């Protein structure tokens, strides 16, 4: 990277970009023709085209959310977004076959290396579609389906038709309608009964082009007694104009199954990250969201779990880091719909250099959910006087036997802790970095080790220059 480019990128090490090389690029702006063209280009069945068109009309009619950061949301110009950009003609199974410039990007992000070492499968999405996809042979032999979503629809239309939009319907919110209308890429996973996928599978999402919209759609189904850990990472170049990332993720954990979905979102500070993530847990199933939000201009993301079956469990661990010009509006939603269901939510946020972090949560217990238990903990650290931290939790309790707790606190870094570390020879900056890493430790310990190390390094980078 040249010095000029380095200056423009600043501390954000993924802020580089490659020359755009599109094989197909739609004009900016959204209309019904764009939606139909995406569907036609992909050779989709008619029912999917119909869903897309319905969702498009709903998107056009639906008002913008009236909560969260309305001022920032108002800055999105939907007419200035490219809704589809194909950068490679097909999804490769070998890194050597991936176009050179795209491969270089993923090499710099360390994806091929990670795959060899510790992953069960990888999907790499560049702009609108997956450019690389692979799965370990032993998993394939056990019947595990791990495909990019477009291939999933082509090869297993009956499964996609059965589950698509059942957890997040297009009428859910404005951005789920947008995603349903123009979705492209994402992951499709089916884990057969009783199969445990021991190594995590990973998807990596990269936006390279300016004013790009990425609308991936992920559907994960874990059949009875199975388990899977899915990890996703996200980066984008630093541009002066904004990009839009609006994904929908649907998880379905059948009886006794377990799905863990880990995200480390490190979009550049010009990306709107407006994502709907929701899982359904049937009897004795577990859905876990491990959600890290480090980058983006505005994130509005509230991973949700519907505890539909008796004994189901939800776990949400979420961290957010809001630096200069950033607003991380994150949180969690858990709906206890069946008896003896349990949930834990842990949210941690840090605001620095005028950043704003918000926790927005919903904990609902319906009248049928007897004997359920839940605990919510939100901690926020404020690193300077220009920053802001908000907490907007909602508890709706419709069953008298529910046992629920919620606690939240906002504070600054303890002077005692700083003094202790500095008295052992650390500079104030190092001490602050260590305290921040420690604050996020309940999150990082749940990540695969390589991710945890990377996250700690990222945080240290973010903390540089935070003192004085």
Cα distance between residue 340 and residue 307, in whole Å: 10
Residue 23 in the binding site for other proteins (CB under 8 A): no
411 sits near other proteins (criterion: CB under 8 A): yes
Residue with Cβ nearer other proteins (83 or 175): 175
Q: Does position 416 bind other proteins by CB under 8 A?
A: no
CA 258 to chain centre: 18
What's the min distance (Å) between Cβ of 430 and other proteins?
Answer: 20
Min separation Cβ 55 and other proteins, Å = 22
In the range 323-382, which residues lie near other proteins by CB under 8 A? Answer: 367, 380, 382
- Binding characters for other proteins, 128-167, by CB under 8 A (x = yes): ----------------------------------------
Nearer to other proteins among residue 49 and residue 353 (C-beta): 353
- Return the number of the residue (284 or 389) whose C-beta is nearest other proteins: 389
Residue 388 interacts with other proteins (CB under 8 A): yes or no = yes
Q: Which stretch binds other proteins (CB under 8 A): 109-117, 207-215, 237-245, 405-413?
A: 405-413
The DSSP 8-state label assigned to residue 414 in this structure reads: P
* 427 binds other proteins per the rule CB under 8 A: no
Q: Which residue in the set 407, 414, 419, 427 belongs to the binding site for other proteins (CB under 8 A)?
A: 407
Q: For residue 272, what are its two tokens? A: 């709107």
> Of the listed pieces 85-93, 123-131, 171-179, 406-414, which binds other proteins according to CB under 8 A?
406-414
Q: Does 408 bind other proteins (CB under 8 A)?
A: yes
Contact 232, 262 (CB under 8 A): yes
Residue 343 CB, nearest approach to other proteins (Å): 14
Among the residue ranges 39-47, 200-208, 283-291, 398-406, the one whose residues contact other proteins (CB under 8 A)? 398-406
Token pair of 40 as six digits = 């036609």
Token pair 């992000």 is found at: 109
133 DSSP β-pair partners: 123
Nearest-angstrom CA–CA distance, 350 and 263: 17
The neighbouring-strand residues paired with 293 are: 265, 320
Q: Is 396 in the site for other proteins (CB under 8 A)?
A: yes
For other proteins, the closer CB: 32 or 403 = 403
| Listed ranges 225-233, 291-299, 390-398, 429-437: which one lies at the site for other proteins (CB under 8 A) | 390-398
CB 247 within 8 A of CB 215: yes
414 binds other proteins (CB under 8 A): no
* Residues pairing with 411 in the sheet: 381
> By CB under 8 A, is residue 102 in contact with other proteins?
no
Judged by CB under 8 A, which of 191, 269, 346, 402 binds other proteins? 402
Residues in the interface with other proteins (CB under 8 A) total 34
Which positions ≥6 away from 29 have C-beta within 8 Å? 78, 79, 80, 81, 83
Distances in Å between the Cα of 359 and the Cα atoms of 290, 367, 409, 410, 414 are 15, 26, 11, 11, 22
Strand partners, 259: 228, 287
Within 13 Å and on the Cβ side, how many CA atoms surround 384?
16
d(CA 125, CA 120): 17
In 3D, which of 330, 304, 320, 309 has the Cα closest to residue 352?
320
Strands 213-214 and 342-351, bridge-based pairing: unpaired
Q: Given the rule CB under 8 A, which residues bind other proteins? A: 66, 367, 380, 382-412
């Amino acid at each position: 990277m040249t010095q000029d480019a380095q200056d423009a990128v600043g501390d954000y090490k993924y802020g580089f970009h490659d020359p755009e090389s599109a094989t197909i690029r739609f004009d900016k702006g959204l209309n019904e023709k764009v939606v139909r063209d995406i569907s036609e280009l992909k050779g989709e069945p008619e029912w999917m085209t119909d869903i897309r068109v319905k969702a498009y009309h709903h998107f056009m009619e639906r008002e913008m959310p009236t909560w969260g950061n309305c001022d920032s949301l108002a800055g999105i110009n939907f007419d200035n977004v490219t809704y589809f950009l194909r950068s490679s003609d097909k999804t490769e199974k070998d890194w050597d076959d991936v176009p050179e410039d795209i491969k270089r990007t993923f090499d710099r992000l360390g994806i091929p290396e990670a795959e060899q070492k510790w992953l069960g499968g990888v999907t790499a999405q560049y702009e609108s579609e997956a450019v690389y996809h692979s799965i370990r042979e032993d998993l394939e032999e056990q019947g595990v389906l791990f495909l990019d979503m477009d291939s999933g629809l082509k090869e297993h239309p009956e499964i996609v038709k059965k589950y698509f939009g059942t957890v997040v319907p297009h009428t859910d919110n404005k951005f789920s309608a947008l995603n349903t209308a123009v979705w492209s890429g994402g992951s499709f996973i089916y884990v057969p009964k009783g199969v445990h996928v021991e190594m995590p599978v990973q998807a990596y999402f990269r936006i390279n082009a300016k004013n790009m919209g990425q609308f991936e759609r992920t559907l994960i189904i874990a059949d009875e007694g199975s388990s899977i850990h899915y990890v996703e990472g996200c980066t984008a170049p630093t541009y002066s104009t904004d990009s839009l990332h609006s994904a929908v993720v649907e998880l379905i954990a059948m009886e006794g199954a377990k799905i863990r979905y880990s995200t480390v979102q490190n979009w550049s500070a010009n990306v709107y990250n407006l994502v709907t993530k929701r899982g359904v847990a049937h009897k004795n199933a577990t859905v876990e969201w491990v959600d890290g939000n480090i980058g983006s201009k505005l994130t509005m993301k509230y991973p949700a779990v519907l505890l539909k079956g008796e004994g189901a469990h939800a776990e949400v661990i979420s961290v957010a880091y809001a630096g200069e010009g950033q607003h991380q509006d994150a949180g969690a939603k858990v709906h206890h719909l069946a008896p003896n269901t349990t949930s834990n939510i842990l949210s941690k946020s840090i605001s620095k250099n005028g950043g704003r972090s918000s926790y927005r949560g919903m904990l609902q217990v319906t009248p049928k959910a007897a004997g359920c238990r839940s605990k919510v903990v939100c901690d926020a650290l404020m690193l300077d006087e220009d920053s802001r931290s908000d907490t907007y939790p909602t508890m709706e309790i419709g069953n008298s036997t529910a046992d629920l707790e919620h606690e939240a606190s906002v504070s600054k870094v303890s002077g005692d802790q700083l003094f202790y570390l500095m008295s052992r020879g650390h500079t104030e900056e190092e001490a602050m970095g260590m305290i921040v890493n420690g604050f996020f430790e309940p999150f990082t310990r749940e990540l695969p080790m390589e991710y945890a190390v990377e996250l700690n390094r990222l945080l240290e980078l973010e903390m540089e220059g935070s003192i004085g």
